[in-house]
Amino acid sequence: MARVLVIGGGVGGLATAMRLQARGHDVTVIEARPRVGGRAYQFCEAGYTFDTGPTIITAPQLLRALWAAVGSNLDDAVELVPLRPFYEICFADGVRFSYWGEPEAMEAEIARLCPSDVAGYRRFLAATGVIYHRAFEQLARKPFLSLTSFLKIVPDLARLRAYRSVYSYVAQFFQDEHLRIAFSFHPLFIGGNPFRASAIYSMVPYLEHLGGVWFVRGGTYALVEAMARQFEQLGGNIQCGDPVIEIILREKRAAGVRLRSGAMLSADVVVSNADVATTYLKLLPAQYQNKGWGARLRHLKYSMSCFILYLGLIKQYPSLHHHTIVMPRCYRSIVEAIFHHELIEDDLALYIHAPTRTDPTLAPPGGETLYVLVPVPNLQADIDWSVMPHRLRERIFDMLEHRLGLTCIRQHIAVERRFTPCDFAGELGSYLGAAFSIEPTLFQSAYFRPHNRCADVPGLYLVGAGTHPGAGLPGVLASAEITAALVDADCAGLRRRLVLSVPLRSERYRAAACRPEHEHSGSRSEML
Dist CA 378 CA 199 (whole Å): 24
**For residues 174 and 120, is the Cβ–Cβ distance under 8 A?**
yes
Phi, psi of 329 (to 5 degrees): -65, -45
Confidence of residue 513 (pLDDT cuts 50, 70, 90): very low
pLDDT per residue over 248-299, tens digit each? Answer: 999 999 999 999 999 999 999 999 999 999 999 999 998 888 888 989 999 9
Confidence of residue 495 (pLDDT cuts 50, 70, 90): low
For residue 160, the model assigns a pLDDT of 74
pLDDT per residue over 12-28, tens digit each? Answer: 999 999 999 999 999 99
Confidence of residue 494 (pLDDT cuts 50, 70, 90): low
Pick 160 or 184 by higher pLDDT: 184
Alpha carbon of residue 246 to chain centroid: 24
For residue 518, the model assigns a pLDDT of 38
For residue 523, the model assigns a pLDDT of 32
pLDDT per residue over 232-262, tens digit each? Answer: 999 999 999 999 999 999 999 999 999 999 9
For residue 504, the model assigns a pLDDT of 40
* Poorest-pLDDT segment among 428-432, 458-462, 508-512: 508-512
In percent, the amount of the chain with pLDDT more than 70 equals: 93
- Decide if pLDDT at 4 tops 60: yes
Confidence of residue 148 (pLDDT cuts 50, 70, 90): confident
Pick 448 or 368 by higher pLDDT: 368
- Decide if pLDDT at 323 tops 80: yes
- Decide if pLDDT at 138 tops 80: no
For residue 515, the model assigns a pLDDT of 38
Average pLDDT, the chain: 91
Position 478, amino acid:
A
- Sign of the alpha-carbon torsion through 312, 318, 322, 326: negative
For residue 510, the model assigns a pLDDT of 35
In percent, the amount of the chain with pLDDT more than 90 equals: 82
pLDDT per residue over 57-108, tens digit each? Answer: 999 999 999 999 999 999 999 999 999 999 999 999 999 999 998 889 999 9
For residue 497, the model assigns a pLDDT of 60
Dist CA 453 CA 214 (whole Å): 31
For residue 446, the model assigns a pLDDT of 84
For residue 366, the model assigns a pLDDT of 96
Phi, psi of 239 (to 5 degrees): -120, 125
Confidence of residue 447 (pLDDT cuts 50, 70, 90): confident
DSSP H or E segment with residue 478? helix 472-501
Distance between terminal CA atoms of the chain? Answer: 18
Pick 121 or 513 by higher pLDDT: 121
Dist CA 516 CA 65 (whole Å): 32
SS (H, E, C) 163-195: CCEHHHHHHCCCCCHHHHHHCCCHHHHHCCCCC
* Poorest-pLDDT segment among 90-99, 302-311, 480-489, 514-523: 514-523
Q: Which residues pair with 272 in a beta bridge?
A: 7, 462
